Structure 1
Amino acid sequence: MHPMVKPALRRGWRDLNTVQFGMTPAHAMTLGPMDTATGSFLELLNGTRGLALLREEGRRMDLPDGHVDALVERLAESGLLDDARGGGPAADALRGKKEVLDRLRPDLASLSLTASEPGDAISRLAARRSLRVQVRGAGRVGAVLACLLSGAGVGEVDVRDGGRVEPWDLAPGGLPAEAVGDRRDEAARRAVRRAAPDRPPRRGPAAPPDDGPGFSLVILAPRDDVAVHAPSPSTADPLMASGMPHLYAGVVEGTGVVGPLVLPGETGCAGCLHEDRTDRDPAWPRLVAQWRSGKPRQARPCDLTLATAVAGLAAAHALAFLDGRAPSSAGARWEVSLPGLHWHARPVPAHPACPCGAAEKGEGEHLAEDGRPRETMAGQRPSEARRTAGAARLAGTWRAHV
């Protein structure tokens, strides 16, 4: 192990014997009382020395026996320490691709803020390279979203859509102007390859559609605004049957939507959303039928900045899930409308009339005490409560700072 105080956290002295790591309340912690020698020793925790060399440095600085190991252990327990050489073989392979890692260093630093164990951040970043995600929809939201996931290190991002690129499909970070007239799916895949820090092998245009297993997540980002507002349960039937996690995102009439993230059989799905809306508004099925049968519009209202914001938030929720977390879109839809732009979450409760079976599990089985989905994926980090408790155990010297 080559211990390193997380460089993503800025450090400052609150007074002569108290150090604060981090600036924001979400991640900042304080350490005190801090003697001068230990404060100076912190500068050596920069990832260039192993524990044996750090112990020698500690002895030269007249630190008590065992002090270095205790400090390293406590920093690690509190989530303030990283390992400059940790993360396993996949992380080592990523370090060997300097140009790729340099592109991803801001993402690595961000992951380190929420990583629980030393080496966990680069391990998660390296794991993204083996993941496959499919984005269904290559409009202003879907194409940008796909490029964001590719740029964040997801190994393969497949895009599915029909038709040809129209001028109103273009967006900075998505489909470029030279793609007008090209097939949407092919144009989006080219954009995805350009966004990737490590170019994946190119799949030929004659490759058959890949809708089978192997994806970690499917994202539904339809260009049809009715499909955004009232997603058809039948569209997701194959995903539900195969147990495939899927996330909805899009823009409808000046309102951006992210969610729900559906964990089949665990959280509310499109069918649950339809049943819940029908309970609250008996006219809902009649309205949806009229909207779906109405004459399609050539260019639907989809503000460029709103579409970009939706793509960014959806990509962030997707990455949180892929990294083993439980984002707040699991069982909820985040919505924001022009011109006020106030994001708010609308729960999508599991409905007993929906055949997905999520309601049969009972709310307590897949929801935490605070009502949010439990973190169920491998490699999850401890909760913030556990992190704070870990700090409190440090012989009374640590306290969370808010």
Structure 2
Amino acid sequence: MRLINGSVLLLRSGGKAQFGTGERNGFLVKGLTPAHIAILKWIFEKQNWYNSHLERRFPENKKEVAEILKVLSDGGLTAKHQVPDGDCACAFHLYGSDAPIKARKEALIGISGLGPLGISLSRKLVACGIKSLILRDHEQVKTRDLCVYSDEQLGAVRQDVAPLLLGVNKQLPNRSVTLEIAICSYLTNPTWAEACIKQGLPHLPIIKRETEIEVGPLFIPGRTCCLHCQHLAKRDVDPEWPQLAAQLTGTDPVMADTSLSEYATAFAVREILSYLAGLPVSLVGASWVFNPADPLPQVRQWLPHPQCGCVSC
């Protein structure tokens, strides 16, 4: 067993111990005996251990050992697997430990669009233990991309050099894709969405605009609204939307603000990890819009459109 990275033990008076410092993830345990506290101190000093070794270290306190291990397990502070570097304790409080780590290792994520926003997202996914990525982008590395790529990579094809940045293998794993993600400017690529629907693949668009980034919605074929539903809903609000969309299709890609990219991709990674863990996802039927002028994202709800027929309404 091992403690999750960043686990904190704070001893209080009267046989109490506090784990963590956050209002959401920290918790307090009461009624601890001196034996409980000795076991906790030993565990937090070692950070990883074999349970048999722990029982040999405290042979007369098997009951207390079992109780402490249960406290740590119930609190999401322990894992059997190697904890990836860069993964934080709060992520494991939110997503659990062993089963989600296994799900991350088994996942295969497709990412289209490897500009600074796509690289920022990919780096976070790799740091959280997702190492199987299909990276797609035939564009060349431009001067404006040097905030994430190196000078030596200027002019190279993004998908050829991105694996070097991320430390992942270029060889495609021989298994089915778990989730497709596309980073686009102004509009979700309809050809990409159609291909995902035909293959029955869940797919998540991340849209860059001049001063905002929209994450979602997460499209799950047969279960949620589709891109065409979204298009019809926009047309209902603005009858000239199809004409505007046609013009936006030929517009040059937009660069996303660096700080805004970090904010939006951190949220996207949280949602992706929740999806892989089988937990509720905020992006089902909704997209979240991040704008540097507003500290809180705007949530847009999307429902299956009655004129589409992709989902029985």
SS of 2:216's equivalent?
Answer: strand
Residue 71 of structure 1 and its aligned partner are, at CA, apart by 4.5
Aligned counterpart, 1:139 = 115
Q: Does 1:69 align with 2:66?
A: yes
Paired letter, 2:17: V
Whether the 8 Å contact between 2:5 and 2:87 is mirrored in structure 1 is no
The two structures have a TM-score, normalised by structure 1, of: 0.66
Aligned counterpart, 2:151 = 177
Aligned counterpart, 1:38 = 36
Aligned counterpart, 1:194 = 165
Whether the 8 Å contact between 1:133 and 1:218 is mirrored in structure 2 is yes
Distance 1:307 1:129 in 2: 25
Paired letter, 1:193: L
Aligned counterpart, 2:201 = 244
Whether the 8 Å contact between 1:162 and 1:185 is mirrored in structure 2 is yes
The number of residues matched between the two structures is 309
Whether the 8 Å contact between 2:135 and 2:159 is mirrored in structure 1 is yes
Residue 246 of structure 1 and its aligned partner are, at CA, apart by 0.9
Paired letter, 2:297: W
Distance 1:72 1:315 in 2: 29
Q: Which runs of 5+ in 2 are unaligned?
A: none
SS of 2:296's equivalent?
Answer: coil
Aligned counterpart, 2:178 = 216
Distance 2:255 2:6 in 1: 40
Change (3 A) 1:30 1:148: closer
Q: Where in structure 2 are the equivalents of 1:72-111 lying within 5 Å? A: 72-76=69-73, 78-83=74-79, 86=80, 91=81, 104-107=84-87, 109-111=89-91
Whether the 8 Å contact between 1:248 and 1:261 is mirrored in structure 2 is yes
Q: Does 1:226 align with 2:180?
A: no
Q: Which runs of 5+ in 1 are unaligned?
A: 96-100, 204-209, 361-402
Aligned counterpart, 1:387 = none
Whether the 8 Å contact between 2:285 and 2:303 is mirrored in structure 1 is yes
Residue 234 of structure 1 and its aligned partner are, at CA, apart by 4.8
Aligned counterpart, 1:317 = 271
Aligned counterpart, 1:272 = 229
Paired letter, 1:192: P
Residue 75 of structure 1 and its aligned partner are, at CA, apart by 4.6
Aligned counterpart, 2:260 = 306
Distance 2:88 2:238 in 1: 46
Query: 1:205-240, CA deviations, whole angstroms, 9 ceiling, x for partnerless residues?
Result: xxxxx8x97211111112xx232xxx2545411211
Distance 1:109 1:328 in 2: 21
Distance 2:150 2:265 in 1: 16
Distance 1:18 1:251 in 2: 49
Q: Where in structure 2 are the equivalents of 1:115-134 lying within 5 Å? A: 115-116=95-96, 120-121=97-98, 124-134=100-110
Whether the 8 Å contact between 1:135 and 1:157 is mirrored in structure 2 is yes
Whether the 8 Å contact between 1:9 and 1:21 is mirrored in structure 2 is yes
Distance 1:164 1:53 in 2: 54
Aligned counterpart, 1:112 = 92
Query: 1:7-44, CA deviations, whole angstroms, 9 ceiling, x for partnerless residues?
Result: 63322234423222111122111111333333233224
Whether the 8 Å contact between 1:145 and 1:311 is mirrored in structure 2 is yes
Distance 1:310 1:36 in 2: 46
Whether the 8 Å contact between 2:86 and 2:127 is mirrored in structure 1 is no
Query: 1:295-335, CA deviations, whole angstroms, 9 ceiling, x for partnerless residues?
Result: 634x6353333334334433343333334433322221111
Aligned counterpart, 1:167 = 143
SS of 2:294's equivalent?
Answer: coil
Change (3 A) 1:57 1:193: same
Distance 1:194 1:281 in 2: 42
Paired letter, 1:281: D
Change (3 A) 1:49 1:288: closer
Whether the 8 Å contact between 1:171 and 1:304 is mirrored in structure 2 is no
Distance 1:53 1:6 in 2: 18
Distance 2:163 2:269 in 1: 13
RMSD: 3.2
SS of 1:141's equivalent?
Answer: helix
Whether the 8 Å contact between 1:144 and 1:175 is mirrored in structure 2 is no
Of 26, 35, 39, 1:28 maps to 26
Residue 105 of structure 1 and its aligned partner are, at CA, apart by 3.0
Whether the 8 Å contact between 2:87 and 2:127 is mirrored in structure 1 is no
Whether the 8 Å contact between 2:25 and 2:90 is mirrored in structure 1 is no
Whether the 8 Å contact between 2:149 and 2:165 is mirrored in structure 1 is no
Distance 1:5 1:185 in 2: 36
The two structures have a TM-score, normalised by structure 2, of: 0.82
Identity rate of aligned residues, in percent? 23
Of residues 41-50 and 19-28 in structure 1, the stretch that sits farther from structure 2 once superposed is 41-50
Whether the 8 Å contact between 1:164 and 1:183 is mirrored in structure 2 is yes
Paired letter, 2:304: A
Paired letter, 2:176: G
Whether the 8 Å contact between 2:122 and 2:166 is mirrored in structure 1 is no
Of 7, 10, 25, 1:12 maps to 10
Change (3 A) 1:54 1:328: same
